[in-house]
Amino acid sequence: MSNVELNCQIRLAKRTDLAKIHQIEEVIFKGFDQFTFRRFKSLFKSPNARFFVCELGSELAGFGIGLKKKLANGKLMGRVYVIGISPNYQKKGIGQMMLKTVENWLILEGIEFINLETSAMRPHLRTFYEKNNYVFYKNLPDYYEDFDGIRLRKNKENF
Ligand SMILES: CC(C)(COP(=O)(O)OP(=O)(O)OC[C@H]1O[C@@H](n2cnc3c(N)ncnc32)[C@H](O)[C@@H]1OP(=O)(O)O)[C@@H](O)C(=O)NCCC(=O)NCCS
């Protein structure tokens, strides 16, 4: 485990973290479909969403957002909506910790499976999730403004 992992405190986000989360998002998703600050604020208020941040000293190194949704059959599904780690702190194990945190919240909420969508053009993202027991579920042509997406899924037996 790196020093960064050891010192990283993952906690629930506060309303006052949203501006910093938005700043990180603007850097790492530059050129991709980006959230507006307004979208962050409205999602933050939703009872079906949970925002987590990774605090390193006085800095935020990254964030993760989980969503839950009731299906027509009454069961709950989970979604890893986004994991974003600041460029300076990538590849130090924080993304992995953040993914686990979001998943643990979803599992405690009683979800049956977890979906996530990611770019079909960035194979390392697929690798990141496959290492965490997600499997390819579906192609999503034109899912993003300028490129295709894929949906990956983790079923209950792999939690
Ligand atoms: C993708 C992202 C969340 C991964 O977080 P991270 O903290 O950098 O990743 P970790 O250090 O926890 O790495 C976990 C595993 O993911 C894989 N991985 C992560 N980034 C990778 C990269 N750029 N290239 C290849 N593999 C990568 C590695 O296999 C790694 O496993 P290993 O340590 O056994 O090699 C982060 O790099 C990021 O925020 N990227 C930009 C935003 C983004 O694309 N988010 C995901 C879409 S929602």
DSSP string, 127-140: HHHHTTT-EEEEEE
Coarse DSSP helix, strand, coil percentages of the chain, rounded to the nearest 5 percent: 35, 35, 30
Q: Is 22 helix (H, G, I), strand (E, B) or coil?
A: helix
From the CA of 90, how far away is ligand 1's center (Å)?
7
Q: Is 54 helix (H, G, I), strand (E, B) or coil?
A: strand
* Average pLDDT of span 117-130: 93
* Average pLDDT of span 103-129: 95
pLDDT score, position 36: 85
Do residues 76 and 46 make contact, with C-beta atoms less than 8 angstroms apart? no
Of 1.10.1520.10, 3.40.630.30, 3.40.190.80, 2.40.10.120, which CATH number belongs to 3-158? 3.40.630.30
With a 6 A CB cut-off, is 126 part of the ligand 1 pocket?
Answer: no
pLDDT score, position 32: 75
Convert the pLDDT of each residue in 51-110 to its tens digit: 999 999 999 999 999 999 999 999 999 999 999 999 999 999 999 999 999 999 999 999
Q: Where does residue 87 fall: left (phi above 0), alpha (psi -120 to 50 degrees), or beta otherwise?
A: alpha
With a 6 A CB cut-off, is 120 part of the ligand 1 pocket?
Answer: no
pLDDT score, position 34: 79
pLDDT score, position 42: 95
Q: What are the structure tokens assigned to 48, written together?
A: 């079906």
**Stretch among 27-41, 48-62, 67-81, 124-138 having the lowest mean pLDDT:** 27-41
From the CA of 125, how far away is ligand 1's center (Å)?
6
Domain ranges in the chain are: 3-158
* Average pLDDT of span 6-23: 93
With a 6 A CB cut-off, is 18 part of the ligand 1 pocket?
Answer: no
